[in-house]
Structure 1
Amino acid sequence: MTVADAIRQAAGRLSATSDTARLDAELLMAHALGVSRSRMLVTLMREDEPPAFEGLVARRAAHEPVAYITGVQEFRGLDFRVTPDTLIPRGDSETIVEAALEVAPGAQRVLDMGTGTGALLLAVLDELPEARGVGIDASDAAVAVAQDNGERLGLSARAEFLTRSWLDSDWTEGLGQFDLVVCNPPYVEQDAALDPDVRDFEPGSALFAGAEGLDDYRAIIPQLGKLILQGGAAVLEIAANQAEQVSAIARDSGFETGLRRDLAGRDRALILR
């Protein structure tokens, strides 16, 4: 079977479990071939199907995310290594980076709380060549992935990654202050209905935040005042229905708030000053 025929067949199989079946099939085939998707589409569609492809499709048919199968996810034009120890960076979160660059274009020190793959911090540093940053995560495994991404992207000299949990009493010790804080915390309600791709594969510790999905905001926001320099700002990712609740938590801690929406028009980035 040719590559083209195998992709077509796989897309039909994956249509039962994925809204992006054709794209998934193409990405998995490119991974099996060890080439970029664009090269595959231009030059390899008449080649023979590689033996590994069938197994990759079976994994995707069982709802395993493509990024975990291939080990890579693109975010703001950068390729990030991902593992099941980290959330998969999503296009919606690019709104956080865009808002951060808008409110703190001259930031010199950046803190990324709950860094995961390091995507937010490294994307910001890629845009701000004079800035340096710190990424923290409660997971040692996630910190290792972020460190690897910093090295892969040539940003390790300006990015430091530390194991810290904002639930610990001394987590801010030694961090100093920052012009900009970015954060994509857990914000999913504990009993929320999630797609199997997320529920069964992505780390629950990075998803769930109590009955209302607000527990981590209540832990983080009151402590931001001692981390942000005068004139600085924080940009937090929120769920589309959380703007009012998280804004109220921020106002109670003395912050003014602003809101940015993602490309789908949903509330996504809450700006704290």
Structure 2
Amino acid sequence: MVQQETWTVLKVLTWTKEFLTQKGVENARLESEWMLCAVLGLDRMGLYVNFDKPLTPKELADYRGMIARRGRREPLQYILGSQEFMGLDFAVAPAVLIPRHDTEVLVNEAVKRAGKTSSILDVGTGSGCISISLAKALPGAIITGVDTSVDALAVAEKNCNTHGVAVKLLHGSLFEPVQGQQFHMVVSNPPYIPSDDLKTLQPEVRDYEPAGALDGGKDGLDFYRQIVAAATDYLVCGGWLLLEVGIGQAEQVRKLFFDNGKFAEVFAAKDTADIERVVGGQLK
């Protein structure tokens, strides 16, 4: 009788690191640990004190399934089903863009300018990470999130329930679902990748994240033009429009605000890498 090979925690991690490295995955050892933590219900310290623990056949099968997906360059966040943002844990799925920490600049700039009872519109809410983070930071504010994707809104609703916040979620494109309404603030992280650049993105982004949340048109600025032009009808006097921008786009987006002629106090805010990540202005 042939004895089955024993796969301990350490042996599995060592093999997985080599496999994922060969597949081009950065931080292969760390990601291997996170996936094994999810399978075993342990934190990373728990792994370290259980290096000699053999995996059960089910644990090994579940882990192998995760590793196969990551080897195909599926994002780790989709495999684990979550991503941390603003200190909160958000459910994510292929219907939504994975929250990036760069977007925390947008939330922080919005909190600085919003009143405690502000009405805030989040255009293209996706997972709801911006809306929900604002609702947690400004519990008296009235938050509305819109998205063109029904599947994305389902993820956002799940996250709202998890975090116990009331965000009004509406289906539609840009301002269509809120015709006739006005807000103290409009925020958005619109698609901003130039169409021709999509094919040069990492496989995790190019092949798995929703193209509709990435493709910003020929120069990446299609949605900025639409939002800046239309937002003046949906802001109260003195209301703020805040937009996340891609690397190198801040100057062009600032020009859209200036050329519009209806915004004052136009500014740009930088992220921790000293990159301008948010452009905003106040309706005169």
Counterpart contact for 2:106–2:244, Cα < 8 Å: yes
Partner of 1:271: 280
Q: Where do 1:1-273 residues align within 5 Å? A: 1-16=7-22, 17-33=24-40, 35=41, 37-38=43-44, 40-41=46-47, 44-49=50-55, 50-51=59-60, 52-155=62-165, 158-166=166-174, 170-174=176-180, 176-192=181-197, 193-253=200-260, 254-256=262-264, 257-273=266-282
C-alpha separation between the residues in 1 aligned to 2:44 and 2:183?
40
Over 6 Å off, 4+ runs: none
RMSD over aligned Cα atoms: 1.8
C-alpha separation between the residues in 1 aligned to 2:14 and 2:117?
47
How far the C-alpha of 1:103 sits from its partner, in A, is 2.2
C-alpha separation between the residues in 2 aligned to 1:191 and 1:38?
40
C-alpha separation between the residues in 2 aligned to 1:3 and 1:205?
40
Deviations 1:7-54 (A, max 9, x none): 232122222422222221122112222x25346346544432322112
Between the two proteins, the alignment pairs up a number of residues equal to 267
Q: TM-score, normalised by structure 2?
A: 0.88
C-alpha separation between the residues in 1 aligned to 2:111 and 2:227?
21
More displaced 10-residue stretch of structure 1: 11-20 or 121-130: 11-20
C-alpha separation between the residues in 2 aligned to 1:103 and 1:76?
17
User: Unaligned regions of 5+ residues in structure 2, if any?
Assistant: 1-6
Say which one has the larger Rg.
Answer: 2
Classify the secondary structure of the residue corresponding to 2:224.
helix
Q: TM-score, normalised by structure 1?
A: 0.91
Partner of 2:4: none
Flag the structure with higher helix content: 2
Deviations 1:92-126 (A, max 9, x none): 11111111112225352111110000000101111
Counterpart contact for 1:235–1:271, Cα < 8 Å: yes
Determine what percentage of the aligned residue pairs are the same residue: 36
C-alpha separation between the residues in 2 aligned to 1:22 and 1:270?
37
Counterpart contact for 1:147–1:160, Cα < 8 Å: no
**Counterpart AA for 2:195:** Q
